[in-house]
Amino acid sequence: MATPHADTTPPLSGRRILICRPEPEASRLAGCFRAAGADTRTFPLIERQRLPETPERRTLILNLDQFTHIIVVSPYAARLLLDVLDTWWPQLPAGIRWYAVGSGTASVLTDHGISTRKPAAGWTSEALLALPSLAQLSGERVLLARGEDGRELIRHTLEQRGAQVTPLALYRRRAPDYTGQEIQSAINDFEPDAIVALSGETLNNLIALCGNSSHNLHDRLLIVPAARVAEQARAAGFVNPCIPGSLADTDIVACVAEQLRGRDGGFGSAK
């Protein structure tokens, strides 16, 4: 009797995935999707530009030992901050509590030898703010390493808890200036089965671009980072937002494969 062969078809064979993350994360994630059989298109909807050093920023860095807590909001912010610290602090000052919003950011810091606190589950501002060591901060100084803006919930909440929060701007973000032809190619011609948009700002830029396209993508599977962004997507007309188990590349790919598997007529609901 013949032995049945296991199905070796890649889980995302024939599927088209539009990845709207910034580079280099977009290309790295695209590689994971291609390994699962998907056709990918990287279409970053945020560009990041490293900010030049200023006297004010240099003063903040030189006074690093005056802060009790340092919060880093993203892997990109972590890499930029470490570059700066390597110049001015060959040995980091002791006694500082370091925090990361999410496992990816924590990995960058811990790989540099920094003991880092992060939420036990989740990767949102709300999850970070639930850490017990950030509950009572009367008179304590907190450095918030981020872009020019963003993560205002962290800043405002910690200030309400009595902290003195100082933002450290390391980079700026902007929406890329795509031509009409580039938008047509990525949205209309590519016709993605799923779109990866891992921030509220990315989603807003996608919504704006859809306004310049004859296809609004509202019926496509949309991967978003958190419930707040999923609600933002629904309010804009997207009917299939989904939150992966984590923002690790492998978990994002697994989420898309699970949601698309055998569901030609629809997708699963957001978690």
Asked if 16-46+178-260 and 55-173 have one fold, the answer is: yes
Give the CA distances from residue 39 to residues 16, 17, 96, 194, 232, in Å, rounded to whole numbers and listed in that order: 5, 6, 45, 11, 27
pLDDT digits (tens, 9 = 90+) for 146-192: 998 877 899 999 999 999 999 999 999 999 999 888 988 888 889 99
Interval 78-135: pLDDT, tens: 999 999 999 899 899 999 999 999 888 999 999 999 999 998 877 788 889 999 999 9
Q: Tens of pLDDT along 213-253? A: 667 789 999 999 988 899 999 999 999 999 998 888 999 99
| Cα dihedral 182→249→103→43 (10° resolution) | 0
- Band of residue 267 on the pLDDT scale cut at 50, 70, 90: very low
Q: Where are the domains of the chain?
A: 16-46+178-260, 55-173
Strand pairing category for 241-242 and 116-117: unpaired
CATH for 55-173 (3.40.50.10090, 3.40.50.720, 3.40.720.10, 3.30.70.1140): 3.40.50.10090
Average pLDDT over the chain, rounded to whole?
Answer: 89
Residue 151's pLDDT is: 78
Sign of CA dihedral 135, 161, 227, 222: negative
Averaged over 23-28, what is the pLDDT? Answer: 93
Encode pLDDT of 26-76 as tens digits: 999 999 999 999 999 999 999 999 999 999 999 999 999 999 999 999 999
Rounded Cα distance, 230 and 221, in Å: 11
Residue type, 161: R
Best CATH choice for the domain 16-46+178-260 from the list 3.90.79.10, 3.40.50.2000, 3.40.50.10090, 1.10.287.4070: 3.40.50.10090
Contacts of residue 257, Cβ cutoff 8 Å, sequence gap at least 6: 11, 12, 36
pLDDT of residue 212: 66
What pTM did the predictor assign? Answer: 0.83
Q: Can you tell me the distance from the alpha carbon of 33 to that of 49, in angstroms, rounded to the nearest whole number?
A: 26
Chain Cα centroid distance, residue 244: 12
pLDDT at 268: 43
